[in-house]
Amino acid sequence: MAIPRVPPARVTHSCSARSHALVLGCAVVAMVIHSAGYSGSYGVFCMAVWCLCFAVTTVIFFLDATRLYGCLPVSWGNLTVAFAALATLMYVTASVVYPLYFVSSECPYAGCEVRNFRIAVATCSMAATLAYGAEVVLSRRPGQAAAAGYMATPPGVLKVVQAFVACVIFGGVANGGGLAGRPGLVCCVAVWAGCFGLTSLLVLLAVCGRTGALRCLPWDRLLGAYGLLALLLYLSASVAWPVLCFDSKYGSPWRPASCPRGGCVWDSQLVVSVLSFLNLGLYAADLLYSQRPYVT
């Protein structure tokens, strides 16, 4: 298999952003292990994000430097951009969660050294977020979009964001969505799960370079049909969920006074409602962008 030629500009800029993300990710993991520390479910989540992104970035950097990616049955440009977009979202989440739960203005019992390391971890994590985001932006530079593929286009990036927001929605539902004995809410979750599965499938087809696999349905028409279907499904779920949760006939429009902080079903339902409308807007933007022709 012939190794595809990559424009020099893309190699220079994308590899530079990726190398910065790699160095910053290594620094974050090293500082957390050395002194900053982590604990509880939120700490484990942040550490898992940093370790996973660092490991995958290392593999991508090695394959790109050695040009061994030509042996893989994937669209390399689509794969790297999709991962960079996903890593940006994951790093943003970890960069918010870690300082929120582990950084304070006062020195903890272990001393100010631990606090200073945690501040450095949060700073490097945010810097790595910018590095991953820069990789996505640089893939859209003139003359490089064709090499990067569909995932570098606005609809491609939007699909990664849609899938990520859907995962956060599922986390909110699992944290206390109050589904027991409420089939209407279960239907809303089924809609979100179905859209998440189809969106992930489209991303997988693009990453594997199989956008033309369905000969009876061209890629652009497939995107348009799915975008319209997903928009209608999300619209129904986004309207039904808050009605079934906050209407006085089915739930409570106000937060209960006895609701415990951090473990309240009402809070989780509110978060899910907001994120559902957010994804509804993302699907609407995706549908609009999908009407424009892009190189795949």
Q: What is the pLDDT along the chain (296 residues), one digit of tens a residue?
A: 344 444 444 444 667 889 999 999 999 999 999 888 888 888 999 999 999 999 999 999 999 988 998 888 888 889 999 999 999 999 999 999 999 988 877 775 656 788 889 999 999 999 999 999 999 998 877 555 555 688 888 899 999 999 999 999 998 888 766 676 678 889 999 999 999 999 999 999 999 988 776 777 788 888 889 999 999 999 999 999 999 888 777 666 677 677 766 567 778 888 899 999 999 999 999 998 877 655 44
Query: Of 238, 246, 171, 231, which is closest to residue 198 (Cα–Cα)?
Result: 231
Domain that holds residue 20: 8-148
Q: Are 81 and 149 in contact (CB under 8 A)?
A: yes
Residues 104 and 192 in one domain: no
Residues 164 and 264 in one domain: yes
Residues 137 and 160 in one domain: no
Choose one of 130, 148, 166: the last residue of a domain.
Answer: 148
What total of structural domains would you count in the chain? 2
Look at residue 49 and tell me if it is in a domain.
yes
Distance of CA 149 to the CA centre of its chain: 19
- Strand, coil or helix: what is 83? helix
Look at residue 90 and tell me if it is in a domain.
yes
d(CA 114, CA 120): 10
Q: Are 95 and 125 in contact (CB under 8 A)?
A: yes
DSSP H helices in the chain: 8-31, 40-66, 76-102, 112-138, 145-148, 154-174, 183-207, 219-246, 265-290
